[in-house]
């Protein structure tokens, strides 16, 4: 199996008067995260982890902070770009693990909802997404939210339709062998293709 790993880290300062967006959710809190976009520290860290896994640069190289197009942008846009880069490189996500570091609000009561949202955005199952949170003990960083993320990706093998196609071809061969063996034992006819097959490919799938 051809796997690669990527790491991402991000931080944003808390700021009054803006909504708090983390993991694609809007959380009830007196302050949000300052940023050119919506400041979603979790999605930014995951975006960088995915880009890093296929050595495709980082979020800043695709979305320069000064670009007015990304003012207050939904960070799901950045995540989508990372997914496109991943697919372009021929990889898909195995799993994503993250750790948020912030004094408040408490993440554990909403971690399940957040995992569901992030899994939806990434097009993977919830058990492929982990979201953990810690308070910044001893860091004197209560006014900042940070996030660390790692992503494991694997090379996409042949497309699924090719796989099922070759499976059908294999079972056709086996069936032909069985039919020929039966004909030989019952009628004593030599092993060769006789008439039309007694099955069609529709029945084999």
Note the Cα 66 to chain centre separation in Å: 28
Site size toward Zn ion (CB under 5 A) is 2
How many Cα atoms occupy the beta-carbon half-sphere of 194 within 13 Å?
14
Stretch that binds Zn ion, among 37-45, 84-92, 103-111, 167-175 (CB under 5 A): 37-45
CB atoms under 10 Å from CB of 10, counted, come to 23
Question: Taking CB under 5 A as the rule, does residue 38 contact Zn ion?
Answer: no
The two most distant CA atoms of the chain are separated, in Å, by 89
Question: Taking CB under 5 A as the rule, does residue 48 contact Zn ion?
Answer: no
Q: Which of 6, 10, 98, 122 binds Zn ion (CB under 5 A)?
A: 10
Shortest Cβ 123–Zn ion spacing (Å): 22
Shortest Cβ 147–Zn ion spacing (Å): 8
Nearer to Zn ion, 10 or 85 (CB): 10
Q: Which of 44, 115, 117, 148 binds Zn ion (CB under 5 A)?
A: 44
Shortest Cβ 47–Zn ion spacing (Å): 9
Nearer to Zn ion, 63 or 91 (CB): 63
Shortest Cβ 164–Zn ion spacing (Å): 41
Shortest Cβ 44–Zn ion spacing (Å): 3
Q: How far apart are CA 104 and CA 147, in angstroms?
A: 13
Residues that bind Zn ion (CB under 5 A): 10, 44
């Amino acid at each position: 199996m051809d796997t690669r790993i990527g790491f991402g880290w991000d931080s944003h300062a808390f700021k009054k008067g803006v909504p708090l967006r983390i993991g694609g959710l809007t959380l009830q809190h007196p302050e949000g995260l300052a940023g050119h976009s919506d400041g979603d520290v979790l999605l930014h860290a995951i975006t960088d982890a995915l880009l890093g896994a296929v050595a495709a640069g980082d979020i800043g190289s695709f979305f320069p902070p000064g670009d007015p197009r990304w003012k207050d942008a939904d960070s799901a846009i950045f995540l989508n770009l990372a997914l496109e880069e991943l697919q372009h490189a021929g990889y898909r996500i195995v799993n994503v693990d993250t750790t948020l570091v912030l004094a408040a609000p408490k993440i554990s009561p909403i971690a399940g909802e957040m995992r569901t949202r992030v899994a939806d955005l990434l097009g993977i199952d919830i058990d492929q997404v982990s979201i953990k949170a810690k308070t910044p003990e001893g860091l004197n960083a209560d006014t900042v939210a940070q996030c660390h993320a790692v992503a494991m990706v694997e090379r996409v093998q042949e497309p699924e339709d090719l796989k099922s196609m070759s499976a059908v071809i294999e079972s056709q061969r086996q069936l032909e062998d069985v039919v020929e063996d039966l004909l030989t034992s019952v009628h004593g006819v030599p092993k060769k293709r006789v008439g039309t097959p007694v099955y069609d490919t529709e029945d084999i799938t």
